[in-house]
Amino acid sequence: MMLKIENVLSAAEVDQCRAIIDEGPWVDGNETSGHQSALAKKNEQIAQGSDAANKASALVMAALGRTPEFVAAALPLKVYMPMFNRYAGGQTFGNHVDNAIRQVRGTDVRIRSDLSCTLFLTDPDTYEGGELIVQDLFGEHQVKLAAGDMVLYPASSLHRVMPVTKGSRVSCIFWLQSMVRENAAREHLFRLDTSIQQLTVEKGGEHPIVVDLTNLYHNLLRRWADS
């Protein structure tokens, strides 16, 4: 399942995040690449562990926690610390797949990457190129969103970032391990949760249909989730 989530960051929060990271420190994006990704990756990123990275990551994490659609779709168990990258001057990231397991630097904590997330921090009319291309069995999906909007997609997908030929593309990327491992199960639960919310507005939370579907949702979550 691919999902666009709008306004994860407000315009003011995008400005705040950019004010933190724009001064750097920027380093080669291959600082955190796996072997295959390093062959395809040409960009810059904020140095992990820097004050800028920590402050901007905290801002994004706080925003994720108050975004119900993200929580409903991702059902996050562990979130890898958000990272920030920049493409300019023809930089690109060729076809690759994200590492299945990511270890938090300096710890023994490991995260299975179930979902990949890109939060855009640059308005699309300020740069050319830079589209995120995600491949699945139905073909290629092109993503280029407004600043503050985010896309979630299965980390198992082949994907790439097209060359940025004018201006610069700045974004936040991160991965997460979901409580529900299977993509199809997460999609079923998200659709059911969305339907329950709509019916609650229309019929009230105590309506028998709402109560029955809520019971079904939690029993399915209980069956599929790890905590």
Which residue shows structure tokens 């974004």? Answer: 171
pLDDT tens, 109-147? Answer: 999 999 999 999 999 999 999 999 999 988 999 999 999
Instruction: Output DSSP code: residue 50.
Output: S
195, 168: one domain: no
Q: Return d(Cα 201, Cα 203) in angstroms, integer.
A: 6
**Residues contacting 84, CB < 8 A, separation 6+:** 21, 45, 46, 52, 53, 56, 121, 170, 171, 172, 173
Structure tokens at 210: 């709402």
Name the domain count of the chain.
Answer: 2
3-state secondary structure of 167: coil
* Region for 164 from its dihedrals, namely left if φ exceeds 0, alpha if ψ lies in -120 to 50, beta otherwise: beta
Instruction: Grade residue 219 by pLDDT with cuts at 50, 70 and 90.
Output: very high
157, 217: one domain: no
Nearest to 109 by CA among 30, 29, 175, 183: 175
66, 118: one domain: yes
- The CATH number that applies at residue 143 is 2.60.120.620
**Residues contacting 9, CB < 8 A, separation 6+:** 17, 59, 60, 63, 119, 121, 147, 148
Mean pLDDT across the stretch 214-218?
98
Q: Return d(Cα 219, Cα 154) in angstroms, integer.
A: 24
102, 214: one domain: no
3-state secondary structure of 182: coil
118, 212: one domain: no
96, 124: one domain: yes
Structural domain containing residue 195: 183-224
Is the pLDDT confidence value at 95 over 90? yes
Beta strands (DSSP E) in 57-215 are: 76-79, 83-88, 92-96, 101-103, 110-112, 115-120, 128-129, 132-136, 139-143, 150-154, 159-161, 164-166, 168-178
pLDDT tens, 166-215? Answer: 999 999 999 999 999 999 999 999 999 999 999 999 999 999 999 999 99
At 40 the pLDDT is: 80
At 36 the pLDDT is: 61
In sequence order, the β-bridge partners of residue 176 are 79, 115
Is the pLDDT confidence value at 105 over 90? no
Q: State the average pLDDT for the chain.
A: 95
- The CATH number that applies at residue 205 is 4.10.860
Mean pLDDT across the stretch 70-84?
97
76, 117: one domain: yes
Instruction: Grade residue 34 by pLDDT with cuts at 50, 70 and 90.
Output: low
213, 174: one domain: no
At 30 the pLDDT is: 82
90, 169: one domain: yes
Last-in-domain residue among 158, 178, 198? 178
172, 194: one domain: no
Is the pLDDT confidence value at 33 over 80? no
154, 120: one domain: yes
157, 219: one domain: no
